[in-house]
Every structure is written in structure tokens, then in C-alpha cells.
A = this chain, B = another copy of it.
Amino acid sequence: MTVDKKTLKELYTRTLKVRRFEEKVWDLFGENVVPGTLHLYLGQEAVAAGVTTALKKTDWIQSTHRGHGHVVAKGADMNAALAELLGKETGSCKGKGGSMHITQFNVGVLGATGVVASGLPIAVGAALSCQMRGTDDVVACFFGDGASNNGTFGESLNMSAIWKLPLIWIVENNLYAMGTPIKMMCPSATIAQRADGYCIPNVVVDGNNALAVYEATVEAVKRARAGEGPTLIECQTYRMKGHSRFDAAKYRPEKETKYWLSEERDAVRIIREMAIEQGALTETQAEKIDAKISKDVEKAADFAKKSDFPKPEETLDDVFAEVA
């Protein structure tokens, strides 16, 4: 596939945006203004960037507990996203959801969820809806290597296959579920091959290479829009930090971290160099984009910090929608 320069630039921009956003979250966390726990997306940026760049605005994504990156890449308002993480009333969920439920419906996010693998059935339903309503929208559903061992995995893959749903299954295989290495919990070399059992075309890509993720997704989207059914893409990647707030990830062997956390494997570096090499970007332009994003993120942090907390009584709101 040959990609145009605009796309390369977009891939760089989205990858970087997620990176800068998450670095800011990490800082805010250090400032102790983020309540609760956090699952940072640092290291996996290329996956969200690659997938979402292949989608249009009305396409949907289904997120996970590690959802900041998905939401930001899909075009979330960063003010509302950061405010949500800080539990503010200006947050996209009015402070009711926080990190694990960070969601912006209006840019096509079906939801982030705290229950591992619970997004898969929801993605099936959204894709069925896209199909039944006769739209050409597709759904991309993110989930982790760990999630692929939950019962919803087989149930949902199967349903997507028998109904030929416009669905793209994105496994973010970051080699671990909390402290558990996937190789302890999965007998096969890849998770992708499980899709064979459901006759779902599948592919393994370098999840730190936004272009590779993008290209695989484009193919999958094409199939989905043509009514040819689901595809599964396994993106092999790695977390830069621990699983959650206080995890130092000491259980990861040094050789492994050395490889995965090297400059060479860095998602931002990879797409940046590719974009520059292929003339989609100059160094200066790359810096400019970075500066702009950094400023936006800075502003969003300011906005979030300055926003008010919700009033305690708002606890009682939003349980039910009003009957018309």
C-alpha cells in the first residue's frame, strides 16, 4: 500500500497527541490531582493512532480500561477528557466516570469500561445496528491480550462472523495482563490465530508502527464496508509504565524491557522518522506540530485544574433518562 503524505502526517499527529496527553496525565498524577487509579496508554500510541486514522468520524470505537489513548486519538475534546480524569463537572462524564470510563460519545466512542472484555459484546451490538440501519459505518473494538481469555471473546467473535458484521477486532497485545505474561496464559504464539476458528481473517502487525496498524485497518475497514464481515488485527506492543497507578512493573525481564522501551521501538520516533523520510513532514513541521499539541494539552490541564468539582447532590442525577 502506498500512503499519501497527508495520512502520514495525520498518523504522526495522532500518535504524538496521545503521547503528550498521557505524559501530561502522568505529570498530573505526580501532582496528586488525579483521584483513583490510572491505566496509562504510554507506549501503545501507534495502535490508537493507526486504527482511528483509518476510520471516519461516524465510525465507532469501543474502548477498554486503558482508554485515554483511544478516546484522544478518535478526536476527543482534551479539555473534557482531562477534566474527567480529575473528576471535574466539566469532564465528559461530569466526573461520574473517571479514567476507566472516559468516554466521548459525540466523537464516536461507545464507551470505556472497567470490566475487561465487556466491550466486545457491545461492539457486536453497535456493528449490528450499523448493519441493520443500513449505514456504512463500522466499529473498531479494542481489547487486550488478557481480555482474549474471557468468555465474551469467543461469543462475540462468533456472532460477528455469522452475521458478517462491519467490525474490526483490535487486540492490543502488550504481553501482559497486570503482572501476568500472556505466554503463561495463552498456548499459541499469537492471539490472532484464535480468529481462524471463527473463519475471521486475521493478521499480526507491529503495534508500535502506526503505519502498519493503519494499513491493516484500512484493509479491514474495506472488507467491513463491503459487507464482507469482521477482521481481527493483533497489534503487538508494550506498556511504557506499569499496569496501573502504583505498579512499577518489576516483573518484566530486563532484556524484554530493554528491547521494547528502546528508542528504536518508540512509537513516536518510528512514525516521525517515516513521515520525514517519505517527505510528509520536515523536522521543523514536526516540531511545530509538537509545540501546538503540547500547548493544547497544557491548556487542557489548566482547564481541568481550574474547573469545579461537581456538587455532591449531583450523585443522584443521570441514573435514568427522562421518559419523553
Contact = CB atoms under 8 A, between A and B. Distances in A.
A199 interface: yes
How many protomers of this protein does the assembly include?
2
Contact of A199 (B154, B187, B199, B200): B187
A186 B153 CA distance: 15
Given A149-B155, A150-B155, A184 B162 contact: yes
A134 interface: no
Interface in A220-256: none
A155 B195 CA distance: 15
A194 interface: yes
Given A162-B185, A187-B161, A197-B193, A150 B151 contact: yes
Nearest to A188: B199
A220 to B, nearest CB: 17
A196 B198 CA distance: 11
Contact of A153 (B154, B187, B188): B154
15 contacts: A149-B155, A150-B151, A150-B155, A151-B151, A151-B152, A151-B153, A158-B186, A158-B187, A162-B184, A162-B186, A162-B187, A187-B200, A188-B197, A188-B199, A194-B198
